[in-house]
Structure 1
Amino acid sequence: MASTAHALHILVKHQAQAEDILQQLKKGAKFQDLAKKYSTCPSGKKGGDLGEFKRGTMVPQFDKVCFTCEVLTPQIVKTKFGWHIIKVLYRT
């Protein structure tokens, strides 16, 4: 079982916007470019890069996606902060 993950994310306020961003990604848009353009999280300036973090560090909904979803496949999840598009780069 992985104990750390490295992920990128884009944080927005509305589900519709998160779904639109996900569609842009599916059409080939670059994750980092969309993070810089849309993310309300300070990590957006770094292309959404959260770096490597340990299991249990993030809020539960976010953590669950990071440690169970398919690597490199963007996923949408809602937390108390808003809607996240998460792309896990790797787990160790």
Structure 2
Amino acid sequence: MARTAAALHILVKHKQQAEDIIEQLKNGAKFQTLARKFSSCPSGKKGGDLGEFRRGQMVPQFDKVCFSGEILVPHLVKTKHGWHVVKVLYRT
């Protein structure tokens, strides 16, 4: 079982905007570019890079995707902070 993961994310207020971002990613847009443009999280300035984190460090819904979702595929996650587009880079 993985103990750490690394991910990129884009945080927005509305589900529709998150779905639009996922569509742009499917059409070839760069994750980091969209994160800088749309993310309300401070990590947006770094292209959405959250770095490496341990299981349990993030809110439960986010954690679940990072430790069980498909790697390198954008996921839509709702948390108390808003809607996240999450791309898991790797797990260790």
Check whether TM > 0.5: yes
The normalised TM-score by structure 2 is: 1.00
Number of residues of Structure 1 aligned to a counterpart in Structure 2: 92
Runs (5+) with no aligned partner, structure 2: none
> In 2, Cα distance between the equivalents of 1:22 and 1:85?
7
> In 1, Cα distance between the equivalents of 2:55 and 2:10?
19
> In 2, Cα distance between the equivalents of 1:3 and 1:84?
22
The normalised TM-score by structure 1 is: 1.00
Residue 27 (structure 1) shift: 0.2
Partner residue in 2 for 1:82: 82
Q: Residue by residue, what CA displacement relative to the aligned partner does 1:43-62 show, whole Å, maximum 9, x if unpaired?
A: 00000000000000000000
Give the 4+ runs in structure 1 shifted more than 2 A: none
Partner residue in 2 for 1:67: 67
What is the percentage of aligned positions where both structures have the same residue?
76
Runs (5+) with no aligned partner, structure 1: none
Q: Which amino acid aligns with 2:42?
A: P
